[in-house]
Structure 1
Amino acid sequence: MPKPVVREPLRSNSRSNRARILATARQELGRNPDVTLEEIARAAGVVRRTLFGHFPGRAALLDALAEEASEALRGVVARKPDGVEAPERALARFVLSIWSVGDRYRLLLALARQDLGMERVSEVLAPARDEATAVLERGQHAGVFHDHLPAVVLSSALEALTISLLESVNAGTWEDDGTQTAVATLVAAGVPEKEAAAVVEGVASEARAEAADAADA
């Protein structure tokens, strides 16, 4: 009876190559969805055989990127403060968190039609979209956000705004660390501009303090 095949863990250099290929693919596909695997390998500084050793074809590479994005987005959605947060603060925190994984988010939407398919992309984005819709619904019930659109429709519109602003940053026509996008999102949702700016600054300051504490720990 043949022995079962045991998969050996990736060696450190192999893991490094895989991570570099994924990071490069994310960047190159974000610029040009039609980029070839050979061009990605060249940009990553590896030979074609190395890339194909990790990803047998374009579909395998894109699926790995989708799974990476899914993990990143699930991590963002899972990071919540204890207790119930005011809707405007929750939305600001959500946008700032999404911005940190914005390249993955934008890439998924760019590849949705021609490669991954809308069903797969919707599956990956579902946790983030559900969270945004839930926050908006809560804010609408509290009278904080506009209620002339259903929360799910407003969520879709705000997602499009975020993606557009991400693309402006990637194109070099605008600079933002996520705070201006968070303010724009709150304003579009119905929060007065000055109040939106104050909310975002408060949430961003807390996030910076938490990051500093984590670094010192």
Structure 2
Amino acid sequence: MPKPAVHTVVREPLRSNSRSNRARILAAARQELGRNPDVTLEEIARTAGVVRRTLFGHFPGRAALLEALAEEASEALRGVVTAAPDAEEAPERALARFVLSIWPVGDRYRLLLALARRDLGTERVSDILAPARDEATAILDRGRRAGVFHDHLPAPVLSAALEALTLSLLESVNTGAWADDGTRTAAATLVAAGVSDEAATSIVEGVASEMRADTSEA
């Protein structure tokens, strides 16, 4: 007697649906946490259009959800670093371009950084920012050797100070005390690194204009 035919179940649609649900949950979490840092997972699930069980299937708790967002932010920063400007670019322009590039990422995840310090710890936040910190340190080191940045602090120390400045400005955005598209932060960073006010403003305006032109041509 012949054996009945075995029908293979195609799992890809299920996996695709699972990925879609996960993406929707993360997007909803970014949105709702931005409105209310103490939003419940149930409220995030409703915003994402999934049932509570689906959310918990992906993220068994608040810490797991924040960790996923932290990794998402880290990947975004790594993407910016990978697309970093040519090492031959003048260091003051390179620093302006770098700050202008990472500001949208920081702005998108600014509330997450504050929550991560509370829920995941400062060490995890440091891990998230490590790729950007390393790139900034390399640019500052070039600038110090070229005589355009302060040399009274080692590059890693100056990089840490400028990182703290950026995080402080992002926190000011959280509180409504600061509004920026990245240009004011880039200028403040250049000034803090040792560039004059007038030169910093001119450099940032020039680099920002180039970046807008590149975006429109893409």
Could you give the per-residue CA deviations for residues 163-191 of structure 1, whole angstroms, max 9, x where no partner exists?
A: 22223233333321110110011011110
> Deviation at 1:141?
1.3
Shift of 1:7: 6.3
1:123 to 1:134, Cα distance in 2 relative to 1, 3 A: same
Q: CA RMSD in A?
A: 2.6
CA drift at 1:11: 6.4
Tell me the secondary structure at the aligned position of residue 133 of structure 2.
helix
Q: Which moved more, 1:58-67 or 1:94-103?
A: 58-67
Which of 195, 202, 207 is the aligned partner of 1:203? Answer: 207
Alignment partner of 1:189 is 2:193? yes
- Size of the aligned set, in residue pairs, is 210
1:25 touches 1:40 (CA, 8 Å); kept in 2? Answer: yes
- Tell me the percent identity: 82
CA shift for structure 1 position 131: 0.5
Select the structure of larger CA radius of gyration: 2
Q: Which amino acid in the other structure matches residue 23 of structure 2?
A: A
Give per-residue Cα distances to partners, 1:28-50, cap 9 Å, x unaligned: 43555443312322444543233
Residue 169 of structure 1 is aligned with which of 170, 173, 188? 173
Correspondence 1:144 to 2:152 = no
Provide the rounded CA distance (Å) in 2 between the counterparts of 1:212 and 1:168.
30
Conserved 8 A contact 2:96-2:204 = yes
Q: Which amino acid aligns with 2:84?
A: K
Counterpart residue number, 2:130: 126
Tell me the TM-score normalised to structure 1 length: 0.83
Q: Secondary structure at the residue paired with 2:139?
A: helix
Select between 191-200 and 123-132 the one with higher mean Cα deviation.
123-132
Deviation at 1:159, TM superposition (A): 1.2
Write the mapping of 1:1-217 to structure 2, written as runs, cut at 5 A. 8=12, 14-30=18-34, 32-82=36-86, 84-103=88-107, 105-214=109-218
Task: Name the structure 2 match of 1:3.
Answer: none
Q: Which runs of 5+ in 1 are unaligned?
A: 1-5
What is the TM-score when the length of structure 2 is the normalising length? 0.83
Runs of at least 5 residues in structure 2 that lack an aligned partner in the other structure: 1-9
Amino acid of the residue matched to residue 203 of structure 2?
Answer: V
Distance 1:188 1:117 in 2: 27
Distance change >3 Å, CA 130–CA 108, structure 1 → 2:
farther
Instruction: State the distance in 2 between where 1:7 and 1:123 align.
Output: 35
The CA distance in 1 between the partners of 2:149 and 2:73, in whole Å, is: 29
SS where residue 198 of structure 2 aligns? helix
**Is contact 1:96–1:179 with CA below 8 Å preserved after alignment?**
yes
CA distance in 2, matches of 1:10, 1:132: 42
Indicate if the aligned counterparts of 2:70 and 2:116 stay in contact, CA closer than 8 A: no
Q: Secondary structure at the match of 1:101?
A: helix
SS of residue in 2 equivalent to 1:177: coil
The alpha-carbon deviation at position 124 of structure 1 amounts to: 2.6
